[in-house]
Structure 1
Amino acid sequence: MLAAERREYLLGLLARTGKIVAKDVAAGLGLSEDTVRRDLRDLAAEGRCQRVYGGALPVSPAAADYGARQAVAPDGKRAVAAVAAGLVRPGGSVILDGGTTALAVARALPEDLACTVVTHSPTIAAALIGHPRAELYLLGGRVYKHSAVTCGAAAVEAAQNVSAELCLLGVTGVHPDAGLTTGDADEAAMKRALSARAADTYVLASSEKIGTASPYRVLPWDAVTGLITDADPHAPPVRSLRALGVNVLTAG
């Protein structure tokens, strides 16, 4: 089998099963594991899969820049946002992460809602300026432009001085095996810091993120209260998440 044929086979397998185990593929094709791993490295370098220990997973489409992501699955993000916004009670407090789905949540909050919003996203803060009864706290730090959020040591330190009832957290990848992931190490650390300051954390994930992975792990499943997604509840990754005991709230 030529290299190009092997790679097309690997991509087909990834699409059918949602993951690649290098040793199993090598045994099935009569190849060395090194050959399969080399193919996976090449595919990962092209952005066509996410390498993990022992194999590969589908790559998250949320790896695109902020502007491009705003055009990805807008209906799904609005459906997720509607459910998430309903969790913010009058008089309550919420830590709202950055990203395009969190921005949809900010836009879904009723304009007359009296609440406290803590965020590290200038775009989230700007979206809530017209909400007269919402108290806004913006955490400062280095701006990570990919997600239009602050992160780094200063932002993490600022997060440690706030608290809230609820944290609504965005991620780029949601996978039963890889867990909750994102594309930047500092951003992952900031998400952990935000989640640690809330009584309950719900993950926001429109359907295109389900079953995919990014390089950096954010949180284990037992650290979150639930997952809000518009993905088909009968889809294999969603069934696997429920089997793990994840509380999945279906949007849409």
Structure 2
Amino acid sequence: MLTSQRKKAILDALARDGQVLAKQLSETFDVSEDTVRRDLRELAGEGLLQRVHGGALPASSAVAPFAERRQIESSAKRAIAGAAAAMIGKGQVVIIDGGTTSAELIRQIPRDLQATVVTHSPSVAVGLIDHPLIEVLVIGGRLFKHSIVTVGAAAIEAMSHIQADIYFMGVTGVHPTAGLSTGDYEEAYVKRALAARAAETVVLASSDKINAASQFVIGGLALAQTIIVEMATDPALTKPLEKSGVTIVRA
């Protein structure tokens, strides 16, 4: 079998099974595990999969810079944001993550809602200026320009003084075995710290993030209680998530 044929078969198996194991692939192709690992390295270098110990997972495609992602109009993203906004109750303390879906979420919060929003996203904070009854608490720290959020030790320290009702988390990967992941090391720490400060964590996940993984793990699926997905998401992708105990909301 040619290298190109092996690589195509690996990607087909990833799409079908959600993961591949190097040992099984070497047996299937009758090649050494070193050969399989080289194939996986090259495919990972092209951004077509995410290598993990012993094999690989589908790579998340939701890793473009914020400005580029913001230009992508998505009815699914608006629906997910609308379902999230409807979960916010009067008087609640709500943590809102950075990201393009969060930017849509704040646009759908009613102007007459009274609540407190905690965020490490300057964009989210500014977007709530015209909501007169929402108090906005901004978490400081080093600005991570890719996602326009603050990260670092100062941000995590500030979070330790918060007790929130709900946290709307943005991710780049949701996978039944790899859990929740993102593309930046420090951002993963911040998201994990925010989840620890909320009674409920709700993950906002468009279809390109389901059954995919990024380089840095935020935590297992148990970190979240609810995942909001778009209505058209294949039930075969969400069923393994539901089996883990997470509630799936279709928007």
Distance across 2 between alignment mates of 1:194 and 1:99: 15
Tell me which amino acid in the other structure corresponds to 2:202: Y
Q: Secondary structure at the residue paired with 1:63?
A: coil
TM-score, normalised on structure 1? 0.95
Structure 2 equivalent of residue 3 of structure 1: 3
Alignment of 1:138-157 (within 5 A): 138-157=138-157
Structure 2 equivalent of residue 12 of structure 1: 12
Structure 2 equivalent of residue 95 of structure 1: 95
Gap change, CA 1:25 and 1:231, over 3 Å in 2? farther
C-alpha contact 2:181 2:215 (8 A) present in aligned 1:
yes
Distance across 2 between alignment mates of 1:206 and 1:186: 22
Distance across 1 between alignment mates of 2:227 and 2:233: 12
Deviation for aligned residue 1:219: 2.0
Structure 2 equivalent of residue 44 of structure 1: 44
Alignment of 1:19-168 (within 5 A): 19-72=19-72, 74-168=74-168
Q: Secondary structure at the residue paired with 2:211?
A: coil
Tell me which amino acid in the other structure corresponds to 1:43: L
Q: Secondary structure at the residue paired with 2:177?
A: coil
Distance across 1 between alignment mates of 2:163 and 2:77: 26
Tell me which amino acid in the other structure corresponds to 1:175: H
Gaps of 5+ in 2: none
C-alpha contact 1:207 1:231 (8 A) present in aligned 2:
no
Tell me which amino acid in the other structure corresponds to 2:242: R
Distance across 2 between alignment mates of 1:22 and 1:130: 53
Distance across 1 between alignment mates of 2:238 and 2:72: 20
C-alpha contact 1:173 1:181 (8 A) present in aligned 2:
yes
Deviation for aligned residue 1:235: 2.7
Distance across 2 between alignment mates of 1:4 and 1:121: 43
Q: Secondary structure at the residue paired with 2:246?
A: coil
Gap change, CA 1:216 and 1:73, over 3 Å in 2? farther
C-alpha contact 1:179 1:219 (8 A) present in aligned 2:
yes
Deviation for aligned residue 1:221: 1.9
Tell me which amino acid in the other structure corresponds to 1:66: F
Distance across 2 between alignment mates of 1:190 and 1:204: 16
C-alpha contact 2:97 2:119 (8 A) present in aligned 1:
yes
Deviation for aligned residue 1:77: 1.2
Q: Secondary structure at the residue paired with 1:61?
A: coil
Tell me which amino acid in the other structure corresponds to 1:104: E
Distance across 1 between alignment mates of 2:37 and 2:223: 32
Distance across 2 between alignment mates of 1:242 and 1:225: 10
Aligned length: 251
Deviation for aligned residue 1:19: 1.8
TM-score, normalised on structure 2? 0.95
Cα distance per residue 1:208-240 (max 9 Å; x no partner): 111110011112222222111115465322011
Q: Secondary structure at the residue paired with 2:165?
A: strand
More deviation, 54-63/65-74: 65-74
C-alpha contact 1:165 1:200 (8 A) present in aligned 2:
yes
Distance across 2 between alignment mates of 1:85 and 1:12: 37
Deviation for aligned residue 1:245: 1.7
Q: Segments of 4+ in structure 1 off by > 6 A?
A: none
Structure 1 equivalent of residue 212 of structure 2: 212
